[in-house]
Amino acid sequence: MARLKVYSTGICPICDKTKSLLNKWGIAYDEVRVDQDQAGLREFSQVTNGARTVPQITIDGEWIGSFSELTELHMDDKLDDLMS
């Protein structure tokens, strides 16, 4: 089980971009497809305080936000700290 989790749907281009970047950066992740998994959708809603957009990302169960926040953490060299 990966420490980073991406909540996504199958028709979201930003979700695909997020997963591509994580692969490029060599960061393992688990994906929860909220459009196919009712339990995952409930978890998504709980963890993100009711967020309505995807992707949403958690690290060790802590919500960090979406694609923008993920790339900002990476650009500020803080993502590695969270993943170590």
Is-above-0.85 flag for pTM? yes
Multiple choice CATH, 4-83, 3.20.20.330, 3.40.30.10, 1.10.3430.10, 3.40.50.2000: 3.40.30.10
Pairing of strands 29-33, 56-59: unpaired
Residue ranges of alpha helices (H) inside the chain are 13-25, 38-47, 67-75, 79-83
CA distance 68 to 72: 6
Percent of all residues in the chain with a pLDDT value above 70, rounded to a whole number: 100
Is the confidence at residue 66, as pLDDT, over 90?
yes
Strand order in the sheet with 56-59: 29-33, 4-8, 56-59, 62-65
CA distance 39 to 68: 26
Per-residue model confidence as pLDDT tens digits over 5-34: 999 999 999 999 999 999 999 999 999 999
Nearest to 39 by CA among 11, 64, 7, 10: 7
